[in-house]
Amino acid sequence: MKPNILSMESYVPGRTIEGAVKLSSNENPLGPSPLALAAAKKALSEVHRYPDGSCAGLRAEIGELWELEADSILVANGSDELIVLLAAVLIGPGSNAVGARQTFSQYRYAVRLFGGEMREKSLLSGLYDLSGMLELINPDTKVLFVCNPNNPTGTYGSSQDLESFLREVPTNIVVVLDEAYADFADANDFPNSRTLLEEFPNLLILRTFSKIYGLAGLRIGYAVGRQELIAAMAKAAMPFNVNSLAQAAARAALADTEHRDKTLRLVHTEREFLRSELSKRGIFSYPTQANFICFALEREISGIWEWIARKGIALRGLSSFGLPKMARYTLGGRAHNRLLLKILDELPTR
């Protein structure tokens, strides 16, 4: 077997147990758009036929949203596949990519899958150490990964910080800006990636339908970038990699602004409520721009995860991220969030 495969770590998903509310995977607490559900059901009658391999209709609609040509957009089987496709195009033995240690593990997975080296810098106070990442660049660096807002901390790099960083990156290195949670950001200085794309052609932006659109189970995401890179990634993709139900649901979800707005209202309201309540209890949490909150307890989460789950909430322990005393909790409705607080209030001292 290949040594690079043997050295890889398996992905650790958010888990749950029977009777607990699963708030460990940053899924949309409102579920999918009713319009998306109806579109997927309608598409069922055509599942004996292969899907549109180019996702032409969906790419055109995403292009309208971004005011870009469809050739600048690639749709794939979730952001995970997009990351692998990029690695397939750029990474090989002797090359490397640069990112953060406490972030989405699929960057590391994709780089190692193709025999590359993943060079990582730890977060500073929950934020990307962008200056430190620049120091890790060498002539063999092909890709830089930035998750903004970051998973699992929910923290973000400001427009000024990101622009300064991009100006320092050699233009032959692709910068992946993973914006899986960007829809939830409302900070005044959160970067406008569409504007950045015009100035920095080495930028590749990733978005997903799993979070704000509630389609995690259908596995669909998209990349936006320069046409040459998008075309190369498309060549590396398997035929018919995005199923017809996912395409139909995604197109309908894009059109359902009412469901999107309802999701944003819930997340913004509950984010403020929960962070305030945790602060009152002396529980540290990172300021978050995502649909989840990352907080710290005085002991390792792995030792109390099941106790918390038995009380009704399945959250995500972050030992796999190198943060054993921290938990990531997907913002739910007010009843779920009050239940979490009640559980934390009742935690045994030891």
- pLDDT surpassing 70 at residue 194: yes
pLDDT digits (tens, 9 = 90+) for 121-157: 999 999 999 999 999 999 999 999 999 999 999 999 9
Residue 215's closest CA among 236, 194, 234, 242? Answer: 242
Distance from C-alpha of 165 to C-alpha of 310, rounded to nearest angstrom:
44
- pLDDT surpassing 90 at residue 3: no
| Band of pLDDT at residue 14, cut at 50, 70 and 90 | confident
- pTM of the full predicted structure? 0.96
The sign of the dihedral angle between the CA atoms of 162, 317, 206, 193 is negative
Side-chain half-sphere CA neighbours of 349 within 13 A: 0
Average pLDDT of the chain, as a whole number: 96
DSSP letter at 1?
-
The domain defined by 34-255 folds into Aspartate Aminotransferase; domain 2 (3.40.640)
Note whether 118 and 111 are within 8 A (CB). Answer: yes
Q: Which residues pair with 295 in a beta bridge?
A: 285, 327
Distance from C-alpha of 3 to C-alpha of 270, rounded to nearest angstrom:
45
- pLDDT surpassing 80 at residue 16: yes
The 3-state DSSP class for residue 272 equals: helix
Give pairs for 280-289: CB < 8 Å, separation 24+.
Answer: 281/341, 281/344, 281/345, 283/344, 286/126, 286/153, 286/154, 286/155, 287/154, 287/155, 288/149, 288/153, 288/154, 288/155, 289/149, 289/154, 289/155, 289/156, 289/181, 289/184, 289/185, 289/186, 289/187, 289/190
When pLDDT is averaged across residues 225-235 and rounded to a whole number, the result is: 98
Least confident range from 1-5, 92-96, 101-105, 160-164: namely 1-5
Distance from C-alpha of 37 to C-alpha of 273, rounded to nearest angstrom:
30
Distance from C-alpha of 236 to C-alpha of 36, rounded to nearest angstrom:
29
- pLDDT surpassing 90 at residue 219: yes
Tracing tokens 């989405």 back to the chain, one arrives at: 104
When pLDDT is averaged across residues 197-220 and rounded to a whole number, the result is: 97
Residue 149 confidence (pLDDT): 98
Q: Do domains 12-30+258-345 and 34-255 have the same CATH topology?
A: no
pLDDT digits (tens, 9 = 90+) for 312-349: 999 999 999 999 999 999 999 999 999 999 999 999 87
- pLDDT surpassing 70 at residue 250: yes
Q: Which CATH architecture has domain 12-30+258-345?
A: Alpha-Beta Complex (3.90)
Helix, strand, coil abundance in the chain, percent, nearest 5: 45, 15, 40
Count CB neighbours of 312 within 10 A.
15
Q: What tokens appear for 90 in the block?
A: 């750029």
Please report, for the chain, the start and end positions of each structural domain, with discontinuous segments joined by +. Answer: 12-30+258-345, 34-255
pLDDT digits (tens, 9 = 90+) for 277-291: 999 999 999 999 999
Give the rounded percent of residues in the chain with a pLDDT score beyond 70: 100
- pLDDT surpassing 70 at residue 63: yes
Note whether 73 and 63 are within 8 A (CB). Answer: yes
- pLDDT surpassing 80 at residue 350: no
Distance from C-alpha of 207 to C-alpha of 98, rounded to nearest angstrom:
20
